[in-house]
Structure 1
Amino acid sequence: MDASTGAGGPLNLHVSEDGLYAAHVSGKGLIVHSNAASEHKEVQIARIKETGLKFLKYSRPQTAPGALNNEDLSRRRLLSANDTRISVWQLNPLEIFAEIESVEPGALAVEFGADESEVLVFHSWNTKLSIYSLETGRCSVIKSPKLAHHLGFGYRPKTKQLAILLKPETSDLLTVHEPRSYDLLNRTVLPTIDAQGLKWSPDGKWIAVWDIASAGTKVVIFTADGQLFRTYSGPSGVDDSFDLGVKQIEWSPANPQIGVSETLAVGKVNGNIDLLRARTFSSATTLSHIFPADQQAPTIWRERYVNADGDAEYAEASSSSALSMSPESAGSPRGVLAMAFSPDGLLLATVDTMRQNVVWIWSLEGTPKLASALVHEQHVRQIVWHPSTPQLLINTITNTLPAIRWWSSQDHPVIARVPVERSESGKYDVRWEGSDADSAFWFGSTEEYVIGYLSAGDCGVEFELLNSY
């Protein structure tokens, strides 16, 4: 919901990463909604100068969900950009803060940088990255960025050093830059064939880079200043002759007691997930997307229709029954499609490409084990943890009745209809409204969005509408 649209495409409602703001463009008007989950929602309108907008992006919150205050909110900004001009808007109140003109046409991406005072422009053909400081007016340039999206660069948590993948010639490079000045701290030629991305650990201690799957399992770990620390090539004692490589990686959140990210999950093309200890970066265990034969093992829930209108519910099922109801996707390449840690890092939700209708939920307390699985009629589009409590929203692709699926370790999972118009594409988006521990969330399509929450009523759990857009 916070993505750019293609040239000439309509800009629909764009919801900020934390769900606190929603914006859209109507004619020459920029319309921004805030306080969306309240009866006293606010709407601000300003006139935009750009035509043919391609990008509408929010600055990222600088504090954790639930810890926001008025000072944090006053710093939030929004940028709007077309091929040659960028406007940066202050959100509270809505007014122009800065303008960047005469931008080289054909930008691949426009983003905020380390905070709301920097703007990144990835130029066409990945020739360079321009970093504009809104405080000093200075423009820093980094040549030959490899990827013009979030997997190609990242800012260190708290201290904001930039790590970025470059491809100036034949070899991949990792460079680390000082905050603000972007002076070079370190430059390393990577031992990769074709690096696919990098991710900082949430505690800011490590940078992980993973190689293309055809290279086999290869995850390269660097210290925060760009020094090579370890290369992970798969579990020891395992025949690697059939190693199909890495699909994606994900760090666990920093443990709040000790401030350390303890686990790196490596999602493989063979559908397995290697869990690495963040001290040694050796494999602690491997998770496999195969239903356990033990009928007493985890609780398996299967979606079933309860009436001709298409309403559905979860019913408990045996693992063998669930397996028979979830055929493998014909022709799909194997691999881990999605991985998401709960905010406390104790649960991991995953989706495998061979059975895209199943959400697997793993408990990582003690010995990792499968805690539950949810089997659906359609493919899963999103799995989204609440930012501070272990609640999971599951969004499937369906062109029947719009509905949300909700799971918690403490309660029976539920499916609730959502009052939006049915989308022919079946592609809805969900996002938590993460200002505090409340459980309001956004749900919508390109045509319509609503914000609300789930509540227990006389007819079971229902979606309570707060506002619609």
Structure 2
Amino acid sequence: MYASPVFPSTPLCKASLDGRLVATLSAQTITVRSVVTLQVEHIVSLPSGLGPVTSLQWSPASTRLLVCAGESVHVFSATAVDGDFSAAIHSPLLPGEKATLARFGARDGEVLVCSPSGLKLAVFDLATATAVEIAHPKFHQSASVHRSYSVRPATAHLAVLTRRGGKDFVSIHHPVSRQVQKSWAVESVVDAQAVCWTPDGRWLMLWEAAAHGHQLVLYTADGQHFRTITGANLSDDPDAFLELGIRTCQPSPSSELCAIGDHSRGVVILQTDSWRKSAIFTHPVTIEPRDALHVWQEQLTISREGETVHTFQRATQPISPPGTPSDGKPMDTKPGCASLAFDASSTLLATRLDDAPGTIWIWDIVAAELRAVLVFHSVVTFAWHKHARELLLITAHSESRPGLSYLWDPLLPGPTPVVPDEFISARGSSVGAPAKAQISWINLDMDIPLALLSTPQQYRILSLGEGDEVPETWRGASKWDNAPPPKSNGGGFDPDISDTSMDDGAAVEDTFQFRKT
């Protein structure tokens, strides 16, 4: 595992959706750096008097950047190829409302702005400087606004979930003009929780609130009702209709499968060619390790330097995953599974029960069995790599070790810790304050997986390849062009750049060596 040179960062530091660029926003500029060459590709000068920036987002094709500041939204070119393009949208919201709920739409020239009060969803076309307003989007809070709309892959049709007069409605909008092509009331559902296209665009899904039982409503691409899946279709229990319903619904990247989690310990897998149940994965209360089922438990030890060392031991005896993690506070959690995701190949499914937030379960879809269980001391979340199959990034939410993450794939001897302190300064902006590090995937489609490690002051790009593998294009930006990469000395972070700051457009000398851990 290697890391790039250290680059200056800010709290707003994000990798592009295609994984080729990283943008950092400072007080006066946005600096865009290439992940491939590690060189600065573009610098955007921000307009004076912009005000506090609350959001930085990449466009779908990674050619533009969206900035939310106060009551306005700004879009800038992220590459020199797009020239010095810029656009400003002065929010058509109620007086005093902040434009915090702004997103790119189906393309780089489309922006969606939602009123925090839920009054309307405005779709702006930057090419024509026109807007289409959609009244009463159902969800209009920052954490849930994405459930109000969904863009159909390939064709870019926009499906929107609205609510008026105590009823839910779905509308499908033209991919260019955004005029309504079809709209209907959802008669069979009392309180719809989301609208979502499958990745292949064949189906439009909508599901009922859990309090009203199991209901997954399916529509064809042209808005025709196809089928409503109920508790009787998802369970063999004759009393399933009495149970709480769906918490989450996730189609696979291949669109051939759909996983449904509810308030039970089971996850249902549906085949989308028939929308019939193909498997039910039930999380056992007691796990019995065997040759085909690896159970890994995190072990904490203290080094001579007083640092906590994270290792994993394979369990040989039956275990029961703990409820509250050992370093966590008691939590008021709901039973069941609300966190699940397929890997890039659609052959593995990762799940987490809300009442056991420190345990991740890995299911083999083809064999229809549990393949691995990973037990941690902290509450954890997870994300599969978008392109590399069977590669999982796990993030621990620990106050004592912010940013601590782990890598897992079936061939590794347990999860491999990725400790931010080994790559980047652990000091924050004030004396004694730990840096709030984050590690996230860089979804570049290449043989060597990459991740972004960032704090409010610094960032590095991690190469997670085996042995000495790093992208060949990195070597021109390092000191070891004609020599093997230096090995880690096993200590802490070596180069001291605690005073590094954004220079508002000045080039940064990338002279720090790569290091290995």
Q: In the alignment, which residue of structure 2 is the partner of 1:34?
A: 33
Aligned length: 436
Higher relative contact order (CA 8 A, sep 6+): 2
Q: In the alignment, which residue of structure 2 is the partner of 1:120?
A: 112
Q: Which secondary structure state, in structure 1, belongs to the residue aligned with residue 318 of structure 2?
A: helix
Name which of 151, 154, 157 aligns with 1:158.
Answer: 154
Q: In the alignment, which residue of structure 2 is the partner of 1:66?
A: none
Gaps of 5+ in 2: 1-9, 469-486, 494-512
Q: In the alignment, which residue of structure 2 is the partner of 1:274?
A: 268
| Alpha-carbon shift at residue 203 of structure 1 (Å) | 0.6
Cα deviation, 1:330-355, whole Å, max 9, x if unaligned, reads 53111313111111100111111111
Name which of 392, 410, 417 aligns with 2:419.
Answer: 417
Q: In the alignment, which residue of structure 2 is the partner of 1:433?
A: 442
Check if 1:138 corresponds to 2:130.
Answer: yes
Q: In the alignment, which residue of structure 2 is the partner of 1:360?
A: 361
Change (3 A) 1:39 1:331: closer
Contact 1:450 / 1:466 at 8 angstroms: preserved in 2? no
Contact 1:112 / 1:119 at 8 angstroms: preserved in 2? yes
Contact 1:145 / 1:164 at 8 angstroms: preserved in 2? yes
User: 1:200-215 alignment to 2 at 5 Å?
Assistant: 200-215=197-212
Q: In the alignment, which residue of structure 2 is the partner of 1:89?
A: 76
Cα deviation, 1:10-34, whole Å, max 9, x if unaligned, reads 953233344433333322x122232
Q: State the alpha-carbon separation in 1 of the partners of residues 158 and 192 from structure 2.
A: 17
Change (3 A) 1:325 1:172: closer
Cα deviation, 1:273-330, whole Å, max 9, x if unaligned, reads 1111112222222112225654425111111124341111121113623x26565865
Q: In the alignment, which residue of structure 1 is the partner of 2:47?
A: 48
Q: In the alignment, which residue of structure 1 is the partner of 2:302?
A: 307
Q: Which secondary structure state, in structure 1, belongs to the residue aligned with residue 121 of structure 2?
A: strand
Contact 1:87 / 1:100 at 8 angstroms: preserved in 2? yes
* Higher deviation after alignment, 154-163 or 327-336: 327-336
Q: State the alpha-carbon separation in 2 of the partners of residues 144 and 132 from structure 1.
A: 17
Q: In the alignment, which residue of structure 1 is the partner of 2:277?
A: 283
Name which of 422, 433, 452 aligns with 1:442.
Answer: 452
Q: In the alignment, which residue of structure 2 is the partner of 1:298?
A: 293
Q: State the alpha-carbon separation in 2 of the partners of residues 446 and 459 from structure 1.
A: 24
Q: In the alignment, which residue of structure 2 is the partner of 1:335?
A: 336
Q: Which secondary structure state, in structure 2, belongs to the residue aligned with residue 356 of structure 1?
A: coil
Q: In the alignment, which residue of structure 2 is the partner of 1:263?
A: 257
Check if 1:396 corresponds to 2:383.
Answer: no
Change (3 A) 1:318 1:229: farther
Q: State the alpha-carbon separation in 2 of the partners of residues 262 and 47 from structure 1.
A: 45
Q: State the alpha-carbon separation in 1 of the partners of residues 392 and 514 from structure 2.
A: 20
Which letter does structure 2 place at the counterpart of 1:441?
A
Q: Which secondary structure state, in structure 2, belongs to the residue aligned with residue 196 of structure 1?
A: strand
Gaps of 5+ in 1: 1-9, 62-72, 255-260
Q: Which secondary structure state, in structure 2, belongs to the residue aligned with residue 114 of structure 1?
A: coil
Cα deviation, 1:386-440, whole Å, max 9, x if unaligned, reads 4233211111112334532111122323223222327879975332222222211
Q: Sequence identity of aligned pairs in percent? A: 24
Q: State the alpha-carbon separation in 2 of the partners of residues 140 and 118 from structure 1.
A: 11
Contact 1:301 / 1:374 at 8 angstroms: preserved in 2? yes
Q: Which secondary structure state, in structure 2, belongs to the residue aligned with residue 431 of structure 1?
A: strand
Q: State the alpha-carbon separation in 1 of the partners of residues 267 and 427 from structure 2.
A: 36
Q: In the alignment, which residue of structure 2 is the partner of 1:198?
A: 195
Between structure 1 and structure 2, the one with the greater Rg is 2
Contact 1:59 / 1:115 at 8 angstroms: preserved in 2? yes
Q: State the alpha-carbon separation in 1 of the partners of residues 435 and 208 from structure 2.
A: 33
Q: State the alpha-carbon separation in 2 of the partners of residues 233 and 462 from structure 1.
A: 56
Q: State the alpha-carbon separation in 2 of the partners of residues 225 and 461 from structure 1.
A: 59
Contact 1:326 / 1:375 at 8 angstroms: preserved in 2? no
Contact 2:348 / 2:365 at 8 angstroms: preserved in 1? yes
Change (3 A) 1:294 1:198: same
Q: Which secondary structure state, in structure 2, belongs to the residue aligned with residue 214 of structure 1?
A: helix
Q: Which secondary structure state, in structure 1, belongs to the residue aligned with residue 117 of structure 2?
A: helix
Contact 1:263 / 1:278 at 8 angstroms: preserved in 2? yes
Q: State the alpha-carbon separation in 1 of the partners of residues 312 and 245 from structure 2.
A: 35
Q: State the alpha-carbon separation in 2 of the partners of residues 441 and 416 from structure 1.
A: 11
Q: In the alignment, which residue of structure 2 is the partner of 1:225?
A: 222
Q: In the alignment, which residue of structure 2 is the partner of 1:250?
A: 250
Change (3 A) 1:55 1:459: closer
RMSD between superposed Cα atoms in Å = 2.9
TM-score by length of 2: 0.77
Q: In the alignment, which residue of structure 2 is the partner of 1:98?
A: 87
| Alpha-carbon shift at residue 136 of structure 1 (Å) | 1.6
Contact 2:44 / 2:76 at 8 angstroms: preserved in 1? no
Q: Which secondary structure state, in structure 2, belongs to the residue aligned with residue 237 of structure 1?
A: coil
Check if 1:406 corresponds to 2:407.
Answer: yes
Change (3 A) 1:87 1:300: same
Q: In the alignment, which residue of structure 1 is the partner of 2:318?
A: 320
* Higher deviation after alignment, 232-241 or 221-230: 232-241
Q: Which secondary structure state, in structure 2, belongs to the residue aligned with residue 396 of structure 1?
A: strand
Q: In the alignment, which residue of structure 1 is the partner of 2:169?
A: 173
Q: State the alpha-carbon separation in 1 of the partners of residues 389 and 299 from structure 2.
A: 27
Contact 2:388 / 2:449 at 8 angstroms: preserved in 1? no
Change (3 A) 1:35 1:266: same
Which letter does structure 2 place at the counterpart of 1:436?
D
Contact 1:452 / 1:466 at 8 angstroms: preserved in 2? no
Q: State the alpha-carbon separation in 2 of the partners of residues 435 and 268 from structure 1.
A: 33
Moved over 4 A (4+): 291-294, 324-330, 422-428, 445-448, 455-467
Which letter does structure 2 place at the counterpart of 1:224?
A
Contact 1:397 / 1:426 at 8 angstroms: preserved in 2? no
Which letter does structure 1 place at the counterpart of 2:178?
Y
Q: In the alignment, which residue of structure 2 is the partner of 1:70?
A: none
Q: State the alpha-carbon separation in 2 of the partners of residues 59 and 12 from structure 1.
A: 15
